[in-house]
Amino acid sequence: MSKIDNIFLRVINDSEFRQEYDVHPENYSNISDGFLSSNPYVCAVAKLLRNVDDQVSEMEREKRMRNTEGKIELPETFKAKLYKVMLKELTSN
């Protein structure tokens, strides 16, 4: 199981998240299951996590190419993109 799958499962197994959004974690074994969910909140979490994972992976590749070190910080413009993804997902259902 990948790191992103583990993070996804931790989020949807959170007791407050489960109760608030009527999530049944036993229906999901990985993030791919989240993309197919009929629950818009689970889909939104899956899409947000995938976007973050993709962005971090890209930033890590760039750091390796430039042979630089240090922590990765997501730019504000990316945070705005995540917000738009979340709004689109939650308002389209």
Q: What is the pLDDT of residue 74?
A: 78
Q: What is the pLDDT of residue 72?
A: 80
The string of DSSP letters for 46-84 reads HHHHHHHHHHHHHHHHHHHHHT--S-----HHHHHHHHH
Can you give the residue ranges of every domain in the chain? 3-91
- Which of these, 10, 27, 59, 82, lies nearest to 35 by C-alpha position? 27
Which residues, given as ranges, of the chain have pLDDT below 50?
none
Whether the full predicted model's pTM is greater than 0.85, yes or no, is no
